Amino acid sequence: MTLKELFKNNKTVLTDGAMGTYYSQLTGNEAELCEKANVTSPEIIEKIHSEYIAAGAKLIRTNTFSANSVTLSVTHEQLGEIIRSGYQAAEKCAGEKAVVCADVSAIYDNTDNGFDVSGEYQFIIDTFLEAGAQNFIFETLSELEAVLPAVDYILEKKADAEIIVSFTLLPDGFTRSGLSAERLLDSIIANKDKFVAVGLNCGSGAVQMYAKAVPFFTYIREHTDLFTIVMPNAGYPSIVNRRTVYNSAPSYFARQTARFIPHGLSAVGGCCGTTPEYIRLLAKYINNGSIDSVKEISYNFSDRKPKSVSSSRITEDRFVIAAELDPPYSSDFSKMIAAAKILKDCGVDMITVSDSPLGHAKADSVVCSARIKREVGIDTLPHICCRDKNINALRSILLGAHSEGIRSVLAVTGDHIAETDRGVIKPVFNLDSTKLMTLIGELNGSVFADSPIAVGGAFDPAAPRAEFALKRLDKKIACGAKFVLTQPVFTEKAIECIKEANKKDVKVIAGIMPMVSFRNASFMQNEVPGMVIPDELVSRFSPEMSREEAEEVGMGIAAELAERIRPYVDGFYFITPFNRANVIKGVIERLKNRKVI
């Protein structure tokens, strides 16, 4: 029986429940990934499939959710055996009683070693097809784009294959990658001909899922002919003796999940924490037609759109003067505040604050920006770095920034942790800068709709391959970047690259970094990653110069570079050396005298 036939022949199809958490419950083995049991303990996997079918499940998933060589740390030969054994076990148990879906997860490689994700998908899919798979489910997804190449490959190899895609939509209406329900719906509808059904699974229990899932599925049915599936968790887990335990009663889960059925769901089932008992009790609601009264939900996705533009100075149609300050290593902000006052008085429009550059912990950039904004009365632009924060932390920071009146941020991936600190300091990189931009765009369409945050990115015009830097810039623009701050500009090559960047639909703010001594110039030239400074500029300094003499030389060079770049940019971004605001003041005075600004 095909999936389409299954859904058409049954008013509501019952799916199976969790595999991994139930496997751990049965075996007491939390550490071993259950996919390996397809080979080592096939009798346990068959027992689980059989129990779900006996409970009433007519759609079961193979025990292969994490079956990829990255997650399992296995060779392709071992992976192939795991997939084949998993599919055979499900087929053996299903017989004529249930339909089997080959279960595939999104593969995210964090090993930074050039892992071939596309090739991995192709190997997994080829193995399933050789085993006889007709139906596939990609589940617990954060975004459709991550698996579209794999979906296309399945249909290329087997045109009559039937595919389900199922997403994790958290109670706040966003996926784990920060994608909003609206954006997810757009993506699904654009690719609707590739799937048989779309679902929501994992992330929360039935009660938390209900309010967002019902309008989500209503929209799907209004705009497509796709079947719809919901598979909630058994509530929220707790940790008991280092084991993940779900305390929700099966009867409670069944009653709450049954509330979805009157809304036209094609199939219901369970995800993490559920067992055959949960599915058996859910089956009773399907068979008896006894379901709690359902509260109607009114929700219009088109309501959640930005209603205004950002109020940040950086988005205004004018030349912008920004200056960067480094946050302190301590909790004493007095010097930073004093520097900000000097910069404001000499004509700077906004202060930018870096976020722990080079992986060295400093005061939080958003907290610093909020203090400067309140105490100095100048617009601020905090840098927000992905290196140290997961998506939850990034969203929390953005909510806090918005509450403080901050309406522009610079999204940066972040410098890597120094080799000597690895093993002690753990980088996160849950998102990169472009995904953070997308997240901010989603928040602008929802909780920030009345007063959105303008997002910008970094741009390196001195990169070894200018074409790659410009291509990366195009991606940032596509992800919502309204402006870019460039790395410090010192070379003609960088200026030529900026000319090309300024032809694009983005505001280009050129980085100007005054050098303040021979030692400082030599250090930046030789030890700061990505900094390209010609020998001719460094040679203008000498070790014998006094501080004042060296600063005069540095200010002169900075003013020359700014004047050279001025026709091709939309603003200047002065990086303040050692928070010496008077140096930036000196550069600005020179530029005003020359009528550059």
Tens of pLDDT, residue by residue over 279-288, are 999 999 988 7
Contacts of 560 (CB under 8 A, 6+ apart): none
CA–CA gap between residue 182 and residue 446 (Å, rounded): 10
Residue keyed to tokens 């983005």: 506
Give the residue ranges of DSSP H helices in 60-205. 69-72, 76-94, 117-131, 148-157, 181-190
pTM of the predicted protein model: 0.75
Using the predicted structure, report yes or no on whether residue 176 has a pLDDT greater than 50: yes
Q: What are the Cα distances from residue 98, in Å, to 31, 56, 87, 130?
A: 30, 9, 13, 20
**Mean local confidence (pLDDT), 119-146:** 96
Lowest mean pLDDT among 170-179, 294-303, 438-447, 499-508: 294-303
CA–CA gap between residue 423 and residue 56 (Å, rounded): 48
Burial of 89 (0-12, 13-18, 19+ CB in 10 A): buried
pLDDT (tens digit per residue) in 387-396: 999 988 999 9
Supply the DSSP symbol for 382. E
- Tokens found for residue 519: 């030692």
Half-sphere exposure of 132 (CA within 13 A, CB side): 12
Instruction: Read off the pLDDT band of 490 (50, 70, 90).
Output: very high
First to last CA, the chain: 73
- Tokens found for residue 228: 């719809």
What per-residue confidence (pLDDT) applies to 304? 47
What per-residue confidence (pLDDT) applies to 426? 72
Residue keyed to tokens 């990255």: 70
Q: How many CB atoms lie within 10 A of CB 536?
A: 9
Contacts of 381 (CB under 8 A, 6+ apart): 312, 314, 322, 350, 351, 352, 353, 369, 406, 408, 409, 410, 456
Q: 517 in helix, strand or coil? A: coil
What per-residue confidence (pLDDT) applies to 158? 97
Lowest mean pLDDT among 77-91, 414-428, 553-567: 414-428
What per-residue confidence (pLDDT) applies to 494? 96
Backbone angles phi, psi at 587, to 5 degrees: -65, -45
- At residue 154's C-alpha, the angle toward residues 149 and 159, to 5°, is 125
What per-residue confidence (pLDDT) applies to 445? 85
Average pLDDT across the chain, whole number:
90
**Mean local confidence (pLDDT), 449-471:** 94
Q: How many CB atoms lie within 10 A of CB 159?
A: 7
pLDDT (tens digit per residue) in 11-29: 999 999 999 999 998 998 7
Supply the DSSP symbol for 178. S
CA–CA gap between residue 286 and residue 15 (Å, rounded): 12
Q: How many CB atoms lie within 10 A of CB 205?
A: 22
pLDDT (tens digit per residue) in 496-534: 999 999 999 999 999 999 999 999 999 999 988 778 999
What per-residue confidence (pLDDT) applies to 382? 97
Q: How many CB atoms lie within 10 A of CB 539?
A: 10
Contacts of 293 (CB under 8 A, 6+ apart): none
H or E element at residue 508 = strand 507-512
pLDDT (tens digit per residue) in 412-455: 998 766 544 555 567 778 889 999 999 999 899 888 988 999 99
Q: 107 in helix, strand or coil? A: coil
What per-residue confidence (pLDDT) applies to 294? 46
Instruction: Read off the pLDDT band of 114 (50, 70, 90).
Output: low
CA–CA gap between residue 573 and residue 556 (Å, rounded): 16
* DSSP codes, 41-83: -HHHHHHHHHHHHHHT-SEEE-S-TT-SHHHHT--HHHHHHHH
CA–CA gap between residue 534 and residue 202 (Å, rounded): 55
What per-residue confidence (pLDDT) applies to 300? 58
Q: How many CB atoms lie within 10 A of CB 238?
A: 10
Q: 169 in helix, strand or coil? A: strand
What per-residue confidence (pLDDT) applies to 420? 45
Percent with pLDDT over 70 in the chain: 91
Using the predicted structure, report yes or no on whether residue 371 has a pLDDT greater than 80: yes
Using the predicted structure, report yes or no on whether residue 456 has a pLDDT greater than 50: yes
Q: Are 304 and 268 in contact (CB under 8 A)?
A: no
- Counted residue by residue, the chain has a size of 597
What per-residue confidence (pLDDT) applies to 293? 45
Using the predicted structure, report yes or no on whether residue 120 has a pLDDT greater than 80: yes
Backbone angles phi, psi at 94, to 5 degrees: -70, -45
